[in-house]
Structure 1
Amino acid sequence: MLLAIFALVLVPNVAHAHRFAPSSLQIYEGESAQYEVLWKTPLQTTSNIPLRPALPEGCDIKQESEPQIEGTGVVKRWSLDCSSLDQGLIGAFVGVDGLAQNQASAILIYSYLDGRSWQQVLNTEVDTVTVPSAPTAGGVFGSYTVMGAEHIWAGPDHLLFVLGLVLLVVGFRSLLVTVTSFTVGHSVTLAMVTLGVFDYPVALVEFLIALSIFVLALEVNAAKAGWFARFPWAVALGFGLLHGMGFAGALGEVGLPQGQVPVALLSFNIGIELGQIAFILLVLATGFLVRRYLTAWRTRLEPIAIYTMGGVAAMWCYERGFSVLGF
């Protein structure tokens, strides 16, 4: 029942998968406390209260650009003069207003004059931080791990695919091999796309991700007797390559810190895996409760999750298909 309710909760957000990526506040340090600021936030929000950078008093805006739409986000740039502050933005409070009202998160990236960078995830609990004098690898690792976990939990299409794998596979050992194959698949393309080995058409990949969920729902519904059920590890590996491009798109919107790309890439992937494992444990626990206390209802409850998964995926295919065609 919980699986079915979880799937049904996703229906109101059918048209918005991947459109609520974390906002990004990037600050580039220049000479004499001069700064270039880039602010990117999703077009669609969950509240009438806008998300806005919170910069310290004493910083004057020298130049400000008009908002521009880039993909599913709005980008704004401006130049700051913080020479009235003793150390510029070092030691000053920087944050984002409106995170709590929108139940959103943001990534703050501060690039120092010497090429180093520092990152911090801002959320509903911590929306303001002090800019440190030097970045640490531990800070990068923690920030990108949290961001990876948040991304997979905010991406219902990826979670629905994982749900399909759990429903398809019989036996814990087979499930472990299948999930590991999915991990290997999306880790490979996540790294390759992020490092610039190859590029891909975003709209087409988003459509194919939705199609993979729909096809998987059909196989689960077909009494688990098809080719997918016989070789689930191969299916998970192949579709994992596809889903990795979707993960890379989210990471590309935030960017990677110079000099700490391996740490950021590794920690983001670890965050994805932790979020994925937590979701799988939730599904398995729900399945245990159903078998233990709702045995008579089991055959009636499972189809609800399957048909809802297929229906949501079909609507994603319809919407994203039009995007591929340019409508």
Structure 2
Amino acid sequence: MKAFFRLVLTIIALAGALPAQADELRPGYLELTQQTQSEWKLVWKAPILGGLATRAEPLLPDFCQLKLETPRLSGPAVVATGKVSCSKPLEGATVGLKGMEPGSTDALLRVAPLGRPVQTERLIPDNSSYTVSTVPDGWQVARTYFVIGVEHILAGFDHLLFVIALVLLLQRGRPVVAAATAFTLAHSLTLAGTTLGLFGLPQAPVEATIALSIVFLAVEIVKASPGELRLSERLPWVVAFLFGLLHGFGFAGALREIGLPETDVPVALLTFNLGVEAGQLVIIAATLAVLGALARFAPTARRPAVIASTYAIGAVASFWFIERIWA
């Protein structure tokens, strides 16, 4: 029981310390797209929060010259475009960012040579450069966006708390799997549709309603009683599907912040979503394992632990909802 409380309290503490937009990823984005044999187009997006906008800048080899246009503010990021002239091919050369300090936001690097596969790399303070491959791996985009998807569900605390609350409500393998499948199908639909420009919703009300969906589940858990199944327990897959549609808009907002490679949208979208699902399965398995351990070793403590955790989750979600509607 103590271990369970420590786990939940750690998540709650981290979640409560985050700003209202807990769902959004704000990495940097550096793109080099080859125009001719010696000319490249550079796009550099640096989020205002996270240190990249004030400290980091593109790193190019000595045989390349950058002419940068005046940066502009685009939402929560500074965006700059420019032309890069290189006297030699970039293959084997090092590109990336300089000035990334410990604690800085990550950045996604995309290098798109003419007539060859796109190369992508996740830049972090400890590994902020990349050597352009002579023969690039065609699976680089897939791997990069899969990892980003996993990290998003694990670091996007509102989605994390929603999935945990769903498991706490149902507490049994088969109903949890059915609800999780419905949630996956629903947010995959809205994620794909929004990312491809088929439809969309304003991000602010979406974020507020996502917080409210967590509050709803918390209320359902607290009010649950043996022999009196509530709607969310009788038809959990319906509830999960409806809220999944909403959460898909949230995932799309995060993916929009990252950016999609123009020529690799289907692969990036698919692998990002697969990464989200992989992270979601980890959350479900871990929560069920903790509940199973409580049932075996401390059965009388299971219900009090669930209720205490639910109140903590509901309190954080309520705070997010209030903060987001006033933001």
TM-score of Structure 1 vs Structure 2, range by shorter chain: 0.7 to 0.9
The alpha-carbon deviation at position 207 of structure 1 amounts to: 1.5
Q: Using a 3 Å threshold, how does the CA distance of structure 1 residues 135 and 189 change in structure 2: closer, same or farther?
A: farther
Structure 1, gaps ≥5 residues long:
none
- After superposition, the Cα gap between the structure-2 partners of 1:149 and 1:201, relative to the gap in structure 1 and judged at 3 Å, is same
Greater Cα shift, 7-16 or 41-50: 41-50
Q: 1:11 aligns with which of 8, 16, 25?
A: 16
Match of 1:257 in 2: 261
State how far apart, in whole Å, the 2-side matches of 1:196 and 1:159 are: 26
Deviation of 1:100 after TM superposition, in Å, equals 6.3
- Give 2:138's aligned amino acid: A
SS of the residue 2:55 aligns to: coil
- What is the CA distance between 1:274 and its match in structure 2? 0.8
TM-score by length of 1: 0.88
* CA-CA distance at 1:30 after TM superposition: 2.4
Alignment of 1:265-276 (within 5 A): 265-276=269-280
CA RMSD of aligned residues (A): 2.5
Name the CA shift for 1:39/1:186 in 2 (closer, same or farther; >3 Å): same
| CA deviation vs aligned residue, 1:200-246 (integer Å, no higher than 9, x gap) | 21112111111111112111121264211211100111111111111
Match of 2:31 in 1: 26
Task: Note if contact 1:27-1:36 (Cα within 8 Å) is conserved in structure 2.
Answer: yes
In structure 2, the CA distance between the partners of 1:18 and 1:173, relative to structure 1 (3 Å rule), is: closer
Show CA shifts across 1:257-276 (max 9, x none): 34433222211111111111
Residue 162 (str. 1) matches residue 163 (str. 2): yes
**In the aligned structure 1, how far is the partner of 2:46 from the partner of 2:323?**
22
Q: Is 1:59–2:60 an aligned residue pair?
A: no
Match 1:248 to one of 249, 252, 260: 252
User: Is residue 177 from structure 1 mapped to residue 178 from structure 2 by the alignment?
Assistant: yes
For 2:31, the aligned partner's letter is Q
Q: Aligned to 1:62, what secondary structure does the other structure show?
A: strand
1:286-320 alpha-carbon deviations (Å, 9 max, x no partner): 22333344444334322222112111111111122
Q: C-alpha deviations, 1:85-144, integer Å up to 9, x for none?
A: x21x33211123465612643211123345863322233554321122465431121111
Given that 1:116 and 1:259 are in contact with CA atoms closer than 8 Å, whether structure 2 keeps it comes out as no
Q: 1:176 to 1:124 in 2, by over 3 A?
A: farther
Taking a change above 3 Å as real, the CA distance of residues 103 and 289 of structure 1, as seen in their structure-2 partners, is farther
Of the structure 1 ranges 11-20 and 164-173, higher mean CA displacement relative to structure 2 is found in 11-20
Supply the distance in 2 between the matched residues of 1:40 and 1:317 (Cα, whole angstroms). 29
Secondary structure in structure 2 of the residue aligned to 1:196: coil
Could you say which residue in structure 1 is the equivalent of 2:321?
A: 317
1:170–1:184 distance in 2 versus 1, CA, 3 Å: same
SS of 2:260's equivalent?
coil
Contact 1:93 1:128 in 2 (8 A): yes
Aligned to 1:82: 86
Deviates more, 1:210-219 or 1:117-126: 117-126
AA matched with 1:96: L
Unaligned runs of 5+ in 2: none
